[in-house]
Chain A
Amino acid sequence: MSRTRQFLLIFFLSSLNPFSVLAQNNISNESFDLAGMWAALVLEDWYDRVPGGGLGDYIGIPINEAGRQKAQTWDASILSQPERQGQPHPAQYSFRGPRPDLRFEHILEPITDRLIGYRTNGTFGRADRTIWLDGRPHPDESYGLHTWDGFSTGEWVNGVLIVTTTHMKYGVYQRNGVPASPYGVMTEYFFRHGNYLTMLSHIEDPVYLEEPFVRTQTWVWNPPQNVGQRRAMEAVEEVDMKRGWVPHWPLGTVHPELAERLGVSLEATVGGSVTLYPEYRETLRQMREEFDRNLAVQALEQ
């Protein structure tokens, strides 16, 4: 059982205590309407979300060895391939950056006017998403088509919209090439408090993650905002390339720039579940001390 699951299980069991803070929680069973304009509050994880993590920055992502190899050999030039120029952000990332400001709109059943889903707009490259609320089944697990937005179904539980997304395409968790496999499952929890909307995403990926990857994003209700129509991207000839051009860095490439800048070992910047937990701060402190000692020695030698 992963550390995250252990934590969640302990948290759940502790909530059964009638005297716990959680037992006093008084969230109603009513749902709320998501439709409208929502402006992203990007101060949380601003560096990762707006400029985006630099090459080799996988801090805070529980990627495994395979994911690390894919990320380290990823060459950003691949986005110049004609077939990738119109590629939107995948569902595993699209609500994460560069902002995005969102428009949620209703999908109504045409005869009864019943709310059967939401459609969202505002993400990079028109990575529009659809969240079905009418209980329809997901496509066939093994043979169904995968899309950039995946297939999402939602249900209301105690005032929280829980959205399950499958059938996503091969994508990224971060814009610096950290890979997301097409076989992950993303569970998102949308909860509203006044004019604020927070979404917690929880992704399990059997190919590239050592344990579930959990992130939160918050928006504020913003009626004057205008998330308007945008045109689809069109591929153009950006560079002179041969047919079948696939840029990639050689096997064994590492990106030490961030580690050198922060004064830590490379291992601290290449992700993995061990780097997620508070006790890793002690390891980082020791790395920094060693870095400073080396600097002092170098200064003396000069």
Chain B
Amino acid sequence: MVIKLKKAFAAIVILMSLFDLFIGNAFAQRPEYLAPDSDKTVVVPVRENITMIATGGSNIAVQTGELGMVIVDSGNGEASVSVLDALKKLSSTPPSYLINTSILPSHTSGNGAIHSIGEGVGSGAAILGMPIIGHTNGLTLLATRFADQIPFDFWPNNAFFGDRKDLFFNGEGIEMLHQPNAITESDIMVYFRKSDVLVTGSIFDISAYPHFYPDLGGSLQGVIDGLNNIIDICIAEFNQQGGTLVIPGRGRLASESDVVEYRDMVTIIRDRVQGMVKEGKTFQEVLAARPSLEYDAIYGRDSGEWTTQMFLEAVYNEFQ
């Protein structure tokens, strides 16, 4: 019996070699997300009436139904042709609402394309364009910082300035929740109550370290508060998965436990950097201590718009 077991084990080793060399490990790498200027999209079914369309700029969430589509964010402009194509395949009804979770161009550059096929409200001479919902704080930022990138006609024309705005459409309640001083001062999250899907905007970007903009009113603490709010909204169905599904600002579809991992990562790095600042360490000393080492291969970048060093510097500066 021992000899036969040895032979069986040897056969396994051969199979491992063949599998490893020719088949295996196709996925054993960090995921390759769409580039920020990519003209491609990836369509991911989420729930029966909710779909995620990934673009290089941001993820787009689409609620379909008899009354029309509710679309959250519009992604980067380069992907608009592909986005419109995907929308046509999802539903024969036109978009009725567009909601912007942020005023950043990565989330709003496709507003014009979606607006062009959207259904206006009103009738006759009083017909207005499709409602674009956003937070009032974003209008100020659009006017002062991004006016040259997003044409005025495609700015939010249905802005709210409170903590929340509600809408009931296609048979379910939709909550728009303002998250103060997170990525910018204009972030909102969108929760589809019946579908149990939460669209977080870039407060939760599972593809990278949080890219917050202090000069636009953003802060690391605001991001952490936002992540804790996301966790409060989520209820896992069974053993920390299922239940509420989360469409992040960028990256893969997620559930509560993915947000928990991300919240823990941001909190741990915050605690480490804050501790070193209290000890009087310089930024170079903080960098040398490698406070994000175990997370860099997942969320970090060595080049591009938001590198690991830039993230750590922003965290460091928050405690100066």
Q: Are A140 and B293 in contact (CB under 8 A)?
A: no
A269 to B275, CA, bound (A): 28
Smallest CB–CB gap between B317 and chain A, Å?
A: 19
Does A84 lie at the interface of the complex (its beta carbon under 8 Å from any beta carbon of B)? Answer: yes
Q: Are A25 and B20 in contact (CB under 8 A)?
A: no
The listed residue (B12, B239, B291) touching A251 by CB distance below 8 A is B291
Does B148 lie at the interface of the complex (its beta carbon under 8 Å from any beta carbon of A)? Answer: no
Smallest CB gap from B53: residue in A: A143
Smallest CB gap from A204: residue in B: B28
Chain B positions 3 through 27: 1 when the CB is less than 8 Å from some CB of chain A, otherwise 0: 0110111111111111111011111
Q: Are B20 and A21 in contact (CB under 8 A)?
A: no
Contacting residues, chain B, for A9 (C-beta < 8 A): 17, 21
Interface residue total, chain B, C-beta cutoff 8 A = 69
Contacting residues, chain A, for B297 (C-beta < 8 A): 66, 181, 206-207
The listed residue (A78, A126, A194) touching B239 by CB distance below 8 A is A126
Smallest CB–CB gap between B179 and chain A, Å?
A: 14
Interface residue total, chain A, C-beta cutoff 8 A = 74
Q: Are A142 and B260 in contact (CB under 8 A)?
A: no
Does A296 lie at the interface of the complex (its beta carbon under 8 Å from any beta carbon of B)? Answer: no
Contacting residues, chain A, for B291 (C-beta < 8 A): 251
Does B285 lie at the interface of the complex (its beta carbon under 8 Å from any beta carbon of A)? Answer: no
Does A176 lie at the interface of the complex (its beta carbon under 8 Å from any beta carbon of B)? Answer: no
Contacting residues, chain B, for A143 (C-beta < 8 A): 31, 33, 42, 44, 52, 54, 251-253
Q: Are B252 and A204 in contact (CB under 8 A)?
A: no
Contacting residues, chain A, for B109 (C-beta < 8 A): none
A37 to B320, CA, bound (A): 60
Q: Which of A1-54 contact B (CB under 8 A)?
A: 5, 8-9, 11-12, 15, 21-22, 24-27
A70 to B17, CA, bound (A): 31
Q: Are A160 and B11 in contact (CB under 8 A)?
A: yes
Q: Which of B235-262 contact A (CB under 8 A)?
A: 236, 238-241, 245, 251-258, 260-261
Q: Are A22 and B29 in contact (CB under 8 A)?
A: no
Q: Are B256 and A83 in contact (CB under 8 A)?
A: yes
Chain A positions 171 through 195: 1 when the CB is less than 8 Å from some CB of chain B, otherwise 0: 0000000010111110101010110
A193 to B28, CA, bound (A): 31
Q: Are B296 and A66 in contact (CB under 8 A)?
A: yes
Interface of A is mostly: loop
Q: Are A158 and B239 in contact (CB under 8 A)?
A: no
Does A67 lie at the interface of the complex (its beta carbon under 8 Å from any beta carbon of B)? Answer: yes
A43 to B80, CA, bound (A): 59
Known A11-B14, A15-B14, A125-B239; judge A183-B7 contact (CB<8 A): no
Q: Are B252 and A246 in contact (CB under 8 A)?
A: no
Q: Are B240 and A193 in contact (CB under 8 A)?
A: no
Q: Are B289 and A189 in contact (CB under 8 A)?
A: no
Does B287 lie at the interface of the complex (its beta carbon under 8 Å from any beta carbon of A)? Answer: no
Contacting residues, chain A, for B241 (C-beta < 8 A): 147-148, 169
Does A255 lie at the interface of the complex (its beta carbon under 8 Å from any beta carbon of B)? Answer: no
Contacting residues, chain A, for B32 (C-beta < 8 A): 141-142
The listed residue (B11, B52, B298) touching A25 by CB distance below 8 A is B11
Q: Are B11 and A158 in contact (CB under 8 A)?
A: yes
Contacting residues, chain B, for A162 (C-beta < 8 A): 15, 19
A212 to B23, CA, bound (A): 15
Q: Are A184 and B239 in contact (CB under 8 A)?
A: no
Smallest CB–CB gap between B279 and chain A, Å?
A: 11
Q: Are B253 and A81 in contact (CB under 8 A)?
A: no
Known A22-B14, A127-B239; judge A78-B258 contact (CB<8 A): no
Q: Are B294 and A66 in contact (CB under 8 A)?
A: yes
Known A8-B20, A84-B240, A143-B44; judge A189-B14 contact (CB<8 A): no
Contacting residues, chain A, for B256 (C-beta < 8 A): 83
Q: Are B10 and A21 in contact (CB under 8 A)?
A: yes
Smallest CB–CB gap between B103 and chain A, Å?
A: 24
Does A250 lie at the interface of the complex (its beta carbon under 8 Å from any beta carbon of B)? Answer: yes
The listed residue (B12, B252, B260, B275) touching A160 by CB distance below 8 A is B12
Q: Are B8 and A27 in contact (CB under 8 A)?
A: yes
**A–B complex contacts, Cβ < 8 Å, 6 sampled:** A83-B256, A87-B240, A142-B31, A148-B241, A244-B227, A250-B275
Instruction: Known pairs A142-B251, A182-B298; list 17 more (Cβ under 8 Å).
Output: A12-B14, A65-B293, A66-B294, A84-B260, A87-B257, A88-B240, A126-B239, A138-B27, A143-B253, A146-B252, A147-B255, A148-B257, A164-B23, A189-B15, A202-B20, A204-B28, A206-B28
Interface residues of A (CB under 8 A from B): 5, 8-9, 11-12, 15, 21-22, 24-27, 65-67, 69-70, 73, 78, 81, 83-84, 86-88, 125-127, 138, 140-148, 157-158, 160, 162, 164, 166, 169-170, 179, 181-185, 187, 189, 191, 193-194, 198, 200, 202, 204-208, 212, 232-233, 243-244, 246, 248, 250-251
